[in-house]
Amino acid sequence: MFLWLFITYGRDYQHSISYSVTFTDSNNRAEYHTSDSVITVGVKTNGFEYLVKGRTRHKKHIVVDIDKLNINLSKGKVTIPTSRLKPQIMQILGIRGTDISLSPSNIELTWNKLYSKRIKIVNKCTFKFEKPYDAYYPADILIDEAIIEGNEKDIAKIQSVSTQQLVYNNINKTSVFLVPLDLSQLPDGVTCRLKNVPIKITAEKYTENVVSLPVKVVRYEDYRNIKVLPKEVKLRYRIAVKDYAKVNDKNFNAFVLCSDQAMSKSKKLKVNITNVPEYVRITDIYPQKVEYILFK
């Protein structure tokens, strides 16, 4: 039996294996399309080598590097003799010192030039905080632009790409979240290499305070003799603990506008608040509207 195996598998055999093939380049300058996405490789080898290696080679997918073929990419179409692919294919398959045959003899290769464009990244995530923490700054997208690639017509319509609509809960410290982009919104043929973006959330402890503010009257037309009730309003606001000592009632200004238009619409006037520091968040004004009395 050993002698039969040695004689049988010691002979040279010609065997063929088909491989799927694609073309690419290091800079992704184009989308490549072939007339035949399969190349059949014929190899002459002895039976023992085929038993050892032949069963694993057919599982491989051949990716041909266009940059190594010195093709003029300005034409858009070219016929490539498959003999020019031999060095790359032999290297990919690990074949040495053996000549191979390839079929078909030629491959028609066409391509579309790829265009690129920078677009804005929009945050669609929701960040929720553990009490008494809150966001000190708006969510900061540390990488706020992405590069998309595709044909010129498709990418011209795209101005932005958003993150997935995820919810992050119980935040109690400054953190950076790696958030996936929602690339499903991009049309077919348009790609984006960036898959995730880091978003920084700055968290601080917050507290509340209430101040009383006199209501000032801004008069228009001839409303000189006017009185508002009540004369003061309560302003409730939230502020980071580290900024608490920076703010007092002198930082705010409460007023109403007296004009024909405002007074014809309602018997009450809306209270407006100005001079609010950027790190203060107003949560309530009581009352939000005040009554008024006109004197002749």
- pLDDT tens-digit map of 95-144: 776 677 888 888 888 877 778 899 999 999 999 999 999 999 999 999 99
| Chain segment 157-169, per-residue pLDDT in tens | 999 999 999 999 9
What integer pLDDT is reported at residue 36 of this predicted model?
64
Of 64, 82, 113, the one marking the end of a domain is 113
10 lies in the same domain as 99: yes
Predicted TM-score (pTM) of the model is 0.61
Domain residues for 62? 2-113
283 lies in the same domain as 264: yes
Of 46, 80, 113, the one marking the end of a domain is 113
Residue ranges of the alpha helices (H) in the chain? 2-9, 47-49, 55-57, 86-93, 152-156, 260-265
State the DSSP string of 143-159. S-EEEEEE-HHHHHT--
123 lies in the same domain as 184: yes
28 lies in the same domain as 14: yes
- Can you give the CATH number for the domain in which 233 is found? 2.170.120.30
74 lies in the same domain as 151: no
86 lies in the same domain as 122: no
103 lies in the same domain as 13: yes
What number is the average pLDDT over the span 223-239? 88
The count of structural domains within the chain is: 3
3-state secondary structure labels for all residues of 85-118: HHHHHHHHHCCCCCCEEEECCEEEEEEEECEEEE
Pairing type for strands 191-192 and 38-46 reads unpaired
Q: Is the pLDDT of residue 73 over 90?
A: no
Question: What single-letter DSSP state applies at residue 243?
Answer: G
What integer pLDDT is reported at residue 56 of this predicted model?
42
